[in-house]
Amino acid sequence: MKQILLAISVVTVFACSEKKAKVLSSATTSANVPAAGKSIVVYTTADTANYRLTPTDTLEFKDFGQPLETQPCVFVDPTKTFQTLLGIGGALTDASAETFAKLSREKQKEFLKAYYDPNTGIGYTLARTNIHSCDFSSGSYTYIKEGDKELASFNIDHDKQYRIPFIKDAIAAAGGKLTLYASPWSPPAFMKDNNDMLHGGRLKTEFYQSWANYYVKFIKAYEKEGIPVWGLTIQNEPMARQTWESCIYTAEEETNFLKNNLGPTLAKEGLGSRKIIVWDHNRDLLYQRASTLLNDPQAAKYAWGVGFHWYEDWSGGDQVFENVKKVSESFPDKNLIFTEGCNDKFTAARLKDWALGERYGRSMINDLNNNTVGWTDWNVLLDEKGGPNHVGNFCFAPIHADTKTGNLIYTNSYYYIGQISKFVRPGAKRIESSASRSPLLTTAFINPDGKIAVVVMNTTGKDMPFHLWMGGKAAETKSLAHSIMTMVF
């Protein structure tokens, strides 16, 4: 795997995710048979026990042999490896930056450590931000004067007030290394057929090149400010006509824009190493969009991977995790990255609702098991109303700030994400894990330092005893009702 170092951010180029299991080196293969008495440290987040990323137990492997069907197990096989993790993180939006600015410096430091410190916090390493305004901005804005096709007026002065200082603080808190990508919600109004940044509309073909140049201007302006941009998505939710900033692309339109304009323009401007993520919308149309674009060789050569969201259950159905797997199987040379998800319809009465965190756990485990290399939450911080948001589209974040009292409110989502992000680090390889009982969801990784992290989530209202089994040895433990646990050894 080729690595490229930038001034502040370490950028890892994933040539492709390892889709088929392979045998590790002899040193790792021997780890398939853990030594008897080997310690396993358990960290737990649980509803009834009031645990929050709490060290709850130390287990030991003992000789076990063949388990019976009556003995529930989580089986782990580190000799079978899959994709390499890029990182886990959340979006640094205008709303998050503006809310952050209202906190005392003491609370700002607490917030930054909570997210970005790998020891005292949950160790975020991945971030997304918006190219000019989105719904989670205080109002609509662009970086140019309306009608400026040549982009002569381009400047990012708006972002220098809140967002750029916020992103710099996050990078510093993460140790100077944060993999950042950017997404646009809409081109400027004059470039669209509805002459409106809101309510959908389409990018006019005569502005394809001007809009491609806009991405270049953004990347270069941010990097001039000392913020490296690792990559970008072509369009946030390109099939959604929203009441906020939005723009529609068919699969064919996105393909043409990528291969004829955006891809060649980035290459020409010396930005060809920046990763381009296509789709950036829900799992429902994921295969159709990916296959249309990636089956076009001229477009596919510019696409690093496919991004997706989790809002497909808007129709009343369930989340379709299987579609992620289908794209992974069909296009093993491309990467999959979760680019956005949040619990919406904010109400303060639900801030302690355990279902908020469980939605994250279920999605992260399934997406990672389907070869996703990166997982990005939506806003890292919102206020006590679930905003600011200029169209009233308020939602939940893992951490909220009560701007009246100055206090931070940690929701269950923060801890569920942390049960994975804190213990599964960039460069970790997913290894095989399998549960013998359906209510136990599991994923497992081996980190670059050789430590194995096994995550087990219990979605039921009752405790579930089980054995962590590996190479004929096992450690007896228990998954508490409505909990998520991480076993590290």
Which positions are annotated as active-site residues? 237, 340
* Whether residue 184 has a cis bond before it, omega within 30° of 0: no
